[in-house]
């Protein structure tokens, strides 16, 4: 993985000292809150419902064991001993004190991390496929490009005051595990007719108040032109994006209003002016970054491990965990181990300091010291030898991260909701907890099969409800929480925005309503047909009838 050079280290260390001075001046009354707020937000420090919240960037969701321990240290020393992994592959700490915030940033800087550009109208932390570099179906490691984009966009003066925030996601695999079509810019690596690897550039996707699927601006872009082309996209957005209306300021609105053809023409005009300029990527530059992500030095391992096969036969719990949370690796004899942060009754994405330390130890011993954060709020051990799976299973079971529910109903995405967030209208976490309790029977969850359930506590859609097979959106009606149900959403290559099923249901009714959606699916599905396929085939009617029949 990428390792900071001297310049990176000097930069983040200097930012900590700058912030320490800014915070001290605020505490001393030398600057006002209005003056201080943009400064703290530029360092990821929000003021939320209960306290300050620190959002830490985890570039393209990759971190090493030492960095995970730094996160544990922050949780333990400066927070209430836990953190919340987010849908942007970041982590948030909910109870940070302003007078200790610079010390927390110092812990990050000492581990080559920061909280810069996790807020504000800038290019945010770039996200990528959490199985980058290890997935068998991958064409090329997207983190190379995530890192190039990180270096280009960090503290970029032209793009520090955009009309609105800007999110870029990269996938190097046709399976798209990074939801690239619902980002401001989505990049999908693929081969052209000549077999060369380049990017499909999608623009104007997004969730929130106005969900949109990104439109393809360029079918295939040569690698060397990535930054020049994106500079042209950003410049076009910066020039024409709406600054007069917060709700119309994202690039998706610009693309929607002027149309993709006009957007493409404007971008191409700008691209023609900057193409071949200093931002063109020389092969040597790309190679230097790529070297950081070179395939790990895998010790030769046996792909067939008799003890592993024997335990699968004799222990159904182990067999189920392997079948559900362990996926194939590109290297024979290795596997990708997914750690579920979705136990029954848990808060999706939460981890305690002890859990973070424990998985750091496991990563160090068994995964070449590397971990990933997924946009579905789970963690990944990316380089595990098949012969170590039995040991890993015992260890992550003890940690509480071995619930065999990856990609299943109880692998819920949920935003912090009204329990923590100043923007929320309704709670998310208690709904997720009640759903996992209702569906605590793993046999039942496996019988239902692949299905994504995503919960947002307000229209800003941090919980990605629009692209959930089942989406729940919390709304407020006369001071009472209600939940809108959307069905048929999909974040993948065939991205789709879920459709509203009918009237919102009350908080107490929400879990029953989800259960009735599931009942309708089980009644109508064809053998082997996944939830979204059944919904696409039948439309909302059978689901609507069954959910609302109970209320009639």
Partner 1 sequence: MSKTSTKGRVAAPQVLTANDLKNGAVVFLDKAGGWTTRISEARVIDDAAEAATLLDKANALQATQLVGPYLVDVDAAGRPLHLRELIRAEGPTAPLFA
Binding site for partner 1 (CB under 8 A): 26-29, 32-33, 47, 49-52, 95-99, 345-347, 350, 418-420, 424-425, 427, 429-430, 433, 476, 479-481
- What are the DSSP calls for 19-75, one per residue? HHHHHHHHHTTSS-HHHHHHHHHTTTEEE-SSSEEEEE--GGGEEEHHHHHHHHHHH
Residues in the chain: 552
Residue number, 29 or 527, with CB nearest to partner 1: 29
Q: Is-contact 16 105, C-beta < 8 A?
A: yes
Q: How far is the CB of 390 from partner 1 (least distance, A)?
A: 30
User: How many Cα neighbours within 13 Å face the side chain of 181?
Assistant: 19
What's CA 327's distance to the chain center, in Å?
19
Distance CA 214, CA 435 (A): 31
- What is the distance, to the nearest Å, from the Cα of residue 248 to the centroid of all Cα atoms in its chain? 24
Cβ burial 475-514 (10 Å sphere, 16+ → b, else e): beeeeebbbbbbbbbbbbeebbbbbebeebbebebbbebb
Phi, psi for 382 (deg, rounded to 5): -80, -15
User: How are the residues of the chain apportioned to helix, strand and coil, as percentages rounded to the nearest 5?
Assistant: 45, 20, 40
* Residue (of 363, 338, 319, 336) closest to 137 by Cα position: 336
Closest CA to 20 of 4, 6, 39, 47: 39
H or E segment and range at residue 436: helix 429-438
- The answer to whether the CB of 46 falls within 8 A of the CB of 52 is yes
Quick count: other Cβ atoms within 10 Å of Cβ 473?
26
Phi-psi region of 525 (alpha: psi -120 to 50; beta: other; left: phi over 0): beta
The answer to whether 181 and 214 have CB atoms below 8 angstroms apart is yes
Q: Are 214 and 180 in contact (CB under 8 A)?
A: yes
Phi, psi torsion values for 127, nearest 5 degrees: -105, 160
Decide: helix, strand or coil at residue 449: coil
DSSP letter for each residue of 10-33: HHHHHHHHHHHHHHHHHHTTSS-H
- 8, 31, 228, 276, 418 from 152: Cα distances, Å: 13, 31, 11, 16, 35
Q: Which CB atom, from 49 or from 497, has the smaller least distance to partner 1?
A: 49
Radius of gyration of the chain (CA): 23
CA distance 265 to 526: 45
Q: What is the distance, to the nearest Å, from the Cα of residue 272 to the centroid of all Cα atoms in its chain?
A: 33
């Amino acid at each position: 993985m990428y390792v900071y050079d001297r310049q990176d280290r000097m930069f983040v260390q200097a930012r900590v000292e700058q912030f320490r001075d800014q915070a001290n001046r605020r505490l001393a009354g030398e600057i006002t809150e209005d003056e201080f707020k943009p400064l703290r937000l530029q360092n990821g420090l929000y003021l939320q419902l209960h306290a300050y919240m620190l959002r830490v960037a985890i570039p393209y969701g990759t971190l090493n064991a030492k960095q995970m321990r730094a996160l544990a240290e922050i949780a333990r020393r400066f927070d209430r001993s836990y953190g919340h992994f987010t849908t942007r592959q970041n982590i948030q700490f909910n109870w940070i004190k302003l007078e200790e915030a610079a010390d927390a940033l110092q812990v990050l800087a000492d581990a080559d991390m920061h909280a810069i550009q996790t807020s504000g109208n800038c290019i945010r932390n770039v996200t990528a496929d959490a199985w980058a570099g290890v997935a068998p179906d991958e064409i090329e490691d997207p983190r190379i490009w995530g890192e190039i984009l990180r270096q280009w966009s960090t503290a970029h003066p032209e793009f520090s005051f955009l009309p609105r925030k800007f999110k870029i996601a990269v996938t190097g695999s046709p399976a798209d595990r990074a939801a690239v079509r619902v980002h401001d810019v989505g990049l999908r690596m693929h081969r052209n007719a000549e077999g060369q690897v380049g990017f499909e550039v999608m623009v104007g996707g997004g969730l929130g108040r106005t969900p949109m699927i990104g439109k393809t601006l360029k079918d295939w872009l040569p690698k060397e032109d990535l930054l020049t082309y994106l500079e042209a996209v950003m410049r076009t957005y910066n020039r024409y994006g709406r600054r007069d209306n917060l709700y119309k300021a994202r690039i998706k609105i610009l693309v929607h209003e002027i149309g993709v053809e006009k957007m493409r023409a404007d971008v191409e005009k700008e691209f023609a002016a900057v193409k071949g300029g200093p931002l063109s990527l020389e092969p040597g530059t790309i190679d230097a970054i790529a070297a950081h992500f070179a395939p790990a030095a895998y010790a030769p391992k046996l792909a067939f491990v008799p003890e592993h096969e024997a335990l699968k036969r004799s222990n159904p719990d182990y067999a189920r965990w392997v079948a559900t949370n362990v996926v194939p690796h590109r290297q024979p004899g290795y596997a990708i181990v997914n750690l579920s942060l979705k136990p029954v009754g848990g808060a999706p994405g939460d981890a305690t300091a002890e859990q973070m330390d424990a998985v750091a130890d496991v990563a160090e011993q068994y995964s070449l010291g590397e971990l990933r954060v997924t946009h579905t709020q789970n963690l990944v051990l990316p380089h595990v030898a098949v012969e170590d799976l039995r040991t890993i299973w015992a260890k992550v079971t003890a940690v509480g991260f071995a619930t065999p529910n990856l990609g299943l109903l109880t692998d819920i995405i949920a935003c912090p909701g009204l329990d923590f967030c100043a923007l929320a209208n309704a709670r998310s976490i208690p709904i997720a907890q009640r759903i996992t309790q209702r569906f605590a029977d793993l046999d039942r969850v496996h019988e239902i099969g692949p299905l994504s359930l995503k919960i947002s506590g307000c229209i800003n859609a941090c919980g990605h409800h629009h692209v959930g097979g089942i989406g729940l959106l919390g709304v407020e009606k006369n001071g009472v929480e209600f939940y809108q149900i959307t069905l048929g959403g999909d974040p993948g290559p065939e991205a789709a925005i879920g459709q509203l099923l009918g009237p919102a249901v009350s908080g107490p009714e929400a879990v029953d309503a989800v259960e009735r959606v599931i009942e309708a699916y089980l009644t109508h599905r064809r053998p082997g047909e996944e939830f979204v396929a059944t919904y696409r085939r039948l439309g909302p009617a059978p689901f609507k009838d069954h959910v609302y029949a109970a209320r009639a």
